[in-house]
Amino acid sequence: MINKDYLKNLNDAQKEAVLHLDGPLLIVAGAGSGKTKVLTSRIANIIKEKKAFPNQILAVTFTNKAAKEMQNRVSKILGSTAVGLSWLGTFHSICAKLLRKHASAANLNSNFTIVDTDDQIRLIKNICKAENIDIKQLSPRFILAIIDRWKNKGFYPNEVIINQKDIYEKTILPLYKIYQQKLTDLNSCDFGDLILHAVKILEFNNDIREMYSKNFKYILVDEYQDTNFIQSKWLNLLSERNKNICCVGDDDQSIYSWRGAEIKNFLEFDQVYENTKVIRLEQNYRSSQNILSLASNLISNNQNRVGKTLISTMEEGDLVKLNCFKNGKDEAIGVSDEIEKNIKKKFSYNNIAILVRAIFQTREFEERFLKIGMPYRILGGTKFYERAEIKDCVAYLRIINQEKDDLAFERVVNNPKRSIGDSTLKNIHEFSKKNNLNLERASIKMLEKNLIKPKAKIGLNIFVNSLAKWRNDLILKKSNHIKLLQTVLDESGYSAMLKNKKDIDNENRLENIKELLSAMKEFDNLESFLEHVSLATSVDQEWDGEKINMMTMHAAKGLEFDVVFLPGWEEGLFPHQKSIEEKGQSGLEEERRLAYVGITRAKKKAIISFSMNRFYQGDWIDSMASRFIEELPDKNLEKNSFFDEEINNEEDFDFNQDFEIEEGTRSPGWIRYQKRIK
């Protein structure tokens, strides 16, 4: 039974988008404008008006979560009729369904296996081994990233045109050919293949293309700004007959070019599909007007956009706060104090978010929150001291500090690779147990007695001698704990491993290590730092109840919170220098879109901040406020400075300092911390 009230509570633009059924339609849906409601109501209207049966509607999303939400909403309107929506799902799930029906056209059987990332990596490793490719220099993940990029562009191995400026593509293309043949031999495909095979089947089989193009009377696509070339081509082929394709998205929220998303798909939609109708959803149901006006003013500086003006259905709301801090540590203190003194009185922790540009930025906030006992979670990432590269660094320092630390020894003895395999390590364990020695001492004795295999002997000998040297440097005070770690990273080959290994994640790992070096500056010696790490990682962070959310701005897309903190708005960090260097103006515009996404996650309060100084790689660096700050309209801002004595009185700054002061001026978190340590 169809719920006939589905058109109620739609604004004029939403209603127009729902009722306009004929021909291509581009819905420019601003942040918080109710695009999901429009899509589901549109499906209901198509069926109610008997324009198509449920199985003649193709509705595509990017995530299973979005597909499930759409299915649930449609079910509420259509009741049992919604069961017939057999072509509602993600790009990958729908392409998999199509591919199983026509597997033979892609040289597969219908019972083909979809390999996951681990299987892909294992397959690439085997291929590299057979082809004498050093995976220390060219990581399987990087190889797969290049292959996936080619697939997103619609290229089988024999269709790839090598970029002569890219030194890696010449090496990777032969691997792609072998990899693809192996997948075929195994009757398997990866996620990239699902769409690529589907497109090739439609492209080279007129009868199949005609069948689906005729069947799908209506096509609806969510988050169209995030589509890549091959996804756009797939949609184009399927809409060839009826042309009733409706794409919903927001070009101002296109932030995934690094995943292959092409904003031109959205911007050039009306050029690809003739007689396109464009409808703008400009009423925002999420954020206050001050937040929207500020975000709209910022994004208006982008040239490549369709353009829209968001109007809030909410009240004017608070001004957006812009805070300037002396340094990164004060920024973390300032955020925690703001939460303790003002925010938590009105909002739950679950409705508070801290959005950063780069994941290494969470460290100072984590340190502060652990110190004062404020619960938090990292969404879409790992807590700082739990990240693998940080644990590796700490393990090196632990074994240097204390030779009996067998757990630390185990972690780094073959990291980076020193040809010390599991069998060698097993032998060392057995020898240590038999002779009541720690693993380092056992290794030294076994080397002396020539009990280590020749290949492993060289690497193990270098390792234990290096430990002795580093330990001696520390004892003789040839280097402090910061310089010690820098020396260890260089002499062990760990830094070279990260720098030389072409891996898409290594840049983040290097940034995290640089942040670790900055963190060590706060401690007088190695012992105090290691004690801090131990305490930080042992603190029970599985608090029941509510937690503050920490994540990157990329991870925040699609989410919303009552209160959003946006720290680190400094040149080089945001906009990120690498993005501008690699992509120029387009990179800058994507960074600005990312800022827009970050701001529009906030419903009631947004707090932007920057620091004048940051401690980076052992040195203090002067920071400049982000150029984006200059683009924020003064009328929507409340500007504060927490260090300029000419502007602020002493009291404004005092509550951020770590010295004795009257309890009444301190935050609850600071007071709680003092009680804990007494």
CA separation (Å) from 573 to 302, 576, 587, 617? Answer: 19, 5, 13, 15
Which helix (H) or strand (E) is 72 found in, with range? helix 64-78
Under 8 Å CB-to-CB from 658, ≥6 apart: which residues? none
What gap in Å lies between CA 41 and CA 47, rounded to an integer?
A: 10
Residue where the block lists tokens 């990432």: 381
Structure tokens at 249: 């998205």
Q: Annotate 538-589 with DSSP letters as a single string.
A: HS----SS--EEEEEHHHHTT--EEEEEE---BTBBTTBHHHHHHHHHHHHH
Burial class (CB in 10 A: 0-12, 13-18, 19+), 595: buried
Helix, strand counts (H, E) of the chain: 29, 18
Do residues 632 and 322 make contact, with C-beta atoms less than 8 angstroms apart? Answer: yes
Contact 560, 350 (CB under 8 A): no
Which residues are marked as active site?
Answer: 35-36, 222-223, 253, 601
Alpha-carbon span 443 to 464, nearest angstrom: 8
Residue 357: closest CA among 327, 339, 381:
381
Distances in Å between the alpha carbon of 468 and those of 429, 444, 456, 464, 471?
20, 11, 19, 6, 5
As a whole number of angstroms, the distance between CA 488 and CA 396 comes to 8
Q: How far apart are alpha carbons 377 and 602 in whole angstroms? A: 18
Give the total residue count for the chain: 678
Instruction: Give CA–CA dist 589/71, Å, rounded.
Output: 34
Backbone dihedral angles phi then psi of residue 591, each to the nearest 5 degrees = -60, -40
Dihedral Cα 475, 479, 482, 488, nearest 10 deg = -80
